[in-house]
Structures are given as C-alpha cells and as structure tokens.
Structure 1
Amino acid sequence: MAGGVLSFPLTAFHDDGTLDPDGQRAYLARQLAAAPGALFPACGTGEFFSLDEDEYRQVVALTVEAAAGRVPVVAGTGYGWPQAVRFAHIAEEAGADALLVLPHYLVDAPQDGLVAQLEHIAARTRLPLIAYQRGQVAYSPGSLRRIAALGNVVGLKDGHGDLDRLQRLTLAAPKDFLFFNGASTAEIQARAYAALGVPAYSSAVHAFAPEIADACFTALRDGDHATADTLLRGFYAPFAELRDRAPGYAVSLVKAAARLRGRPVGPVRAPLTDPSPFDLTDLKALLAAGLDLVGAAL
C-alpha cells in the first residue's frame, strides 16, 4: 500500500440524503482510474458515522465490486466493540480485505481499555485490523506491543501528528507492522513522517483531485523537493487554512470539491453541513489553482 496514495472514497448521497448506489459506482470508477494504493470505504471521509448497517453493507460491497481485486479494500468499523464487530461481520460478508478500526465513541479510556477494545474485535473477525489513533485514542509503546501480538492487528494509522510518540511506537513494533500517516491534510507532514520510516499516507485530496494528490506523492517519493514545495505552498497549505474555518470541513469541503468537478456524490449528512457560499467561492478558486499547477482541468 506504500506504492500509491491511499484513497478514502466519499459516500454518494441523493439530494434528499438517501444513499445513491449509481453515483457511488460512477465515483469509484473515477477513483480507481487514478490507481490508488488501496481503497478505504466507509471511513471518516466516507461518513461512516452517519451510515446505518444496510447502507454500510452496500457501500463496502460496491467498493469490493469496483476494485475487483486490483487494490485492497479496507473498510471502516467503530463505536463500542459489540457494534464494531457487527460492522466487521458485514464487511467480511461483503468481501473486504481488512478493517480500519476507528476511534471508539465519546469517552476517554485508559491504555488497558484501548487494548481490550481491539482484543474483543480481533477475537471475533478473521479480517486483519489496522488501529486508528486519533482524538481520544493514543497508544503507548507498551500497548502497541500488546495489540501487535494479537495476530490479526497488522498496523496503525496515526492521526495525531505527535512525532515523538510515533517514533517510540515504530521502535516498539515488530518489523512487519504497518504504519500510516493519517494526519489531517497528510501531505503537509508527509516528509516528517517519512523521516521516521512511515512513508505511506492517506489523502483526502485524492477524493476529489487525484491529479494533485498523485503529483505530490510522486514528488515526495522521488525527492523532488521543488515540485513538492510548489504544491504544498500553492495548494495544500491554503487548503488546510480553508479546512480550519469551520468544524466538519475536513469532510464537507472534500465533498464540495468533488461536486465542483462533476462527481455525483451529493451533499453531506447532518450533523455536517455543506460549505458556505463564501467558502465555496474560495474553494473553487483554490481547486482551479491547484489543478493549474499539475496541468489538469477543472
């Protein structure tokens, strides 16, 4: 999966908020044409938190059908462990290759509880698990050793950006344990993560502008610092500033940008809201500027 950008597809809804399977198929076809390293459906960008079990089943199944074995499909799962196991079983039946275990709901928990959460899920699914530390979930090196020993916990996605903690985790892990950069607008921190031995990252930008995401990935991989800096300065840093204007923009801006490019993904679901007209105007201008940098059309 380190060979390409990790894609976190959006979930397509009709204007009335119902799931749009045809829109999802069309959108996934465009994503796959950009040759991502893997597809992660029904995760944060895919609004996992707003899907019921039947919708989740459809989203994962549509992704597996579209991928057709060409790239791994890693479905999201989460909430308390009993509900996470229900989603895990649905993902198994739908043909997913692995699961990304999203942070549990609401409460802070001690390290023993974080480990127990994964122990319960791991014992009840045959699929490999990637733990996602973000928000209230942050593993200690000792906890990392414990979850890595479970057998089917194969990796960790880091969304904190605490490089001191992350380096300690990489040093504590078995050699074959996988690590992923899952920081917000991961490209901005990609070089710092790579210096710690974590080159693989997820890209929200790939969900609407794979041309920009792929150009940045290639530049970072090849050590083309001039191109990487041009993209970071001209697109990624302004995009992060726009993202920070309102809660939820990490998803709703991405979906709005996909709509600007003609992708049939529809609106976000509450409690998220679509961008304001003012922010949408800025997003359109920034998207055009980013595409100009890589020679792609809006």
Structure 2
Amino acid sequence: MARGVLSFPLTAFHDDGTLDADGFRAHVADRLAAGPGAVFPACGTGEFFSLDEEEYRTVVTVAVQEAAGGVSPREDGRAGGRVPVVAGTGYGWAQAARFARIAEEAGADALLVLPHYLTEAPQDGLAAHLEELAARTRLPLITYQRGQVAHTVRTLRRIARIPRVIGLKDGHGDLERLQRLTLAAPDGFLFFNGAATAEIQARAYAAVGVPAYSSAVHAFAPEIAGAFFGALRDGDHDTADTLLRDFYVPFAELRDRVPGYAVSLVKAAARLRGQRVGPVRAPLTGPSPADLADLKALLAAGLDLVGASL
C-alpha cells in the first residue's frame, strides 16, 4: 500500500438519488489508472452510511472487478488484481458483520472498520467490538480511530493480538498519542494517516513512522495528489510546500465552511472534472453557488500548478 496514495472513491448516484453503478465503475477505473496504493470503496468519502446492503454489495463488487483488471478472482474468492480492495464496514458489530459477509462474497481483500454508531464506549468495549467482528469474518480488519474512537496503548496491544486485526487508521491527528501507539505495536502492524485533507499533516505523520495516507483529493484530482506524493517521496520540499500553500490549505479552509463538505466538496470537484458521480445523499448537502465558484477557481489553480487543466 505504500507505493501510492490510498484512494477512497466516491459512490455515484443518479440525480434522483439511486445508485449509479455504471458511473461508479467509470470513476473507480479512472482512480485505478492513476496508480493508488489501495482502493477503499464504501468508506467515509464513499458515503457508506447512506448505502443499504444491496447497494453496498454492488459498490464493493464493482471495485473488486475493476481492481482485478480482467484477472479472475483467486480460488479463495478474494481479488487477485492490481491493488488491494479494502471495503468499509461499520455500525454495531452485528450489522458490521453483515456488511463484512457481503464484502467477503464480493471478493474484498480487507475491511476498514469505521467508528461505531452514535454511542460513546469505554476502551474494553472498543476492543470487544473488534473481537466480535473478527470472530465473524475471514477478512483482515483495519480499525479507524476517529470521532468517539481513540485507542489507548493498552487497547492497541489487546486488539493487535486479535488474529485478524492488521492495522489502524488514525483520523485524530494527535501525534503524541499516535507515536505511543506505533511504539507499542508489534512488528508488521499497519498504520495509516486518515486525517481530514491528510496531505497537510503527511510530513508530520511520516516523522512518527506513519508515511501511508488516504487522499480525498485523489478522488477528483489525481494529478495533484500524485504530484504531492511524488514530492514527499523525493524530498522535494519546495514543490510540497507550494502545493500545500496554494492548494491544500485553501481547500481545507473551504472544506471547513460547512459540516459535511469533506464529502460534498470532493464530489462537486469530481463533477467539475467531468466525473459521473452525481449528488450526495442527505443528510449531506451540495455546496452553495458561491462555494462552488470558489471551489472551481481553486481547482483550476491547483491543476495549473501541476500542468493539468480543468
């Protein structure tokens, strides 16, 4: 997964809100052509929370088929394609297990366990949640700590002993806590930077041993995401700073104007690039006309920085 950014494709909907499987297929194919390290369908950016089980099945199946690139699935039913497919799952463990079974049947390689629904929970409960889910799936699990989920070192050691738990995605950005977790984890345990607009904190995460990161920008501007990833890889700090100053930080400021823009702005930007992804589903809302105009100008400026066009 470290060979490229981690891609979180958008789930495509028709204007009437129904799933657009063909639009999603085209979107995933375009993301894969840009060479991500892995593809994560039906996660936060993919509006997992708004999908029913059959829609989820379609989304994960399409992602697996596209990632396979025409290669037949392996005998164990999992994808044998160009990049790993890590599907989202979530809610309480009983419902998460239902989605996990669908992802297994669709051929996913692993699961990203999104924060559980609504309620706060003690550390023992967070660990037990993963234990219950792991007992009900064959797939490896990556826990996503964000919102009400934040693991302590003690909990990290407990969940790392669960045979199917292979990693942790962090969305809090608390680097002291994360450093404690990375030092306590066993060899081979995976960590990912899942902060909002993760590129802004990518160098700081890498400094504590977490170089891999998710990129929402990859969903609409893989040229920008790829240029930034390459600059980090090559130690080109001037290019990285230019992209941060002139694109990523202004994009994060625009994102922060309205709750839910972390998804709806990304989808709007993809539509501006001609991607057939459609609208967001409620309770998310699309950007206002003024915010959309600002997004279009910023996107054009960001693409110009890397020699691409809107």
TM-score (ref. length: structure 1): 1.00
Whole-angstrom distance in 2 between the partners of 1:3 and 1:23: 27
1:7 corresponds in structure 2 to 7
Task: Tell me which amino acid in the other structure corresponds to 1:35.
Answer: G
How far apart are the structure 1 equivalents of 2:244 and 2:55?
A: 36
Alignment of structure 1 residues 138-287 onto 2, 5 Å: 138-287=150-299
Residue 79 of structure 2 corresponds to residue 67 of structure 1: no
Residue 151 of structure 1: CA displacement? 1.0
- 2:71 corresponds to which residue? none
Q: Partners of 2:60 and 2:93 in 1: how far apart?
A: 19
AA of the residue aligned to 2:16: D
- Give 2:78's aligned residue: none
Q: Which runs of 5+ in 2 are unaligned?
A: 69-80
SS at match of 1:131: strand
Between the aligned residues of both structures, percent identity stands at 82
Equivalent-residue separation in structure 1 for 2:188 and 2:25 (angstroms): 34
Amino acid at match of 2:24: Q
Find the counterpart in structure 2 of residue 25 from structure 1: 25
Shift in Å, 1:221: 1.3
User: Superposition pairs for residues 95-106 of structure 1, below 5 Å?
Assistant: 95-106=107-118
Q: Secondary structure at the match of 2:233?
A: helix
Question: Unmatched 5+ residue regions in structure 1?
Answer: none
Secondary structure of 1:99's counterpart equals strand
Q: 1:87 is matched with which residue: 73, 93, 99?
A: 99
Letter paired with 1:51 = L
Aligned residue runs from structure 1 range 32-51, under 5 A: 32-51=32-51
Q: CA–CA distance in 2 between the matches of 1:130 and 1:25?
A: 24
Q: TM-score normalised to the size of structure 2?
A: 0.96
Deviations 1:179-218 (A, max 9, x none): 0000000000000000001000000000000000000011
Q: After TM superposition, what 4+ stretches of structure 1 lie above 4 angstroms from structure 2?
A: none
Q: Give the SS at the match of 1:145.
A: helix
CA distance in 2, matches of 1:78, 1:263: 27
Question: Which amino acid is 1:263 matched to?
Answer: Q
What is residue 308 of structure 2 aligned with on the other side?
296
Counterpart-to-counterpart distance in 2, 1:246 and 1:297: 27
Q: Which amino acid aligns with 1:18?
A: T
Letter in 2 for 1:285: A
In structure 1, give the amino acid aligned to 2:48.
F
Question: Within 5 Å, which residues of 2 pair with 1:109-148?
Answer: 109-148=121-160
> C-alpha displacement at 1:28, in angstroms?
1.1
Distance 2:107 2:47 in 1: 20
Letter in 2 for 1:294: V
Provide the C-alpha distance between the structure 1 equivalents of 2:32 and 2:101, rounded to a whole number of angstroms.
25
CA distance in 1, matches of 2:17, 2:135: 35
User: Distance between the aligned counterparts of 1:279 and 1:264, measured in 2?
Assistant: 20
What is the distance in 2 between the residues matched to 1:276 and 1:221? 36
For the residue of structure 1 that corresponds to 2:181, the secondary structure is: helix
Which residue identity is paired with 1:6? L
Q: Using the TM superposition, give the Cα deviation of residue 265 of structure 1 relative to its aligned residue in structure 2, in angstroms.
A: 0.1
Distance (Å, rounded) in 1 between the aligned partners of 2:26 and 2:181? 39
Corresponding position: 1:55 with 2:67 = no
Cα distance per residue 1:94-133 (max 9 Å; x no partner): 0000000000000110000000000000111010000000
Q: Per-residue deviation at 1:37?
A: 0.4
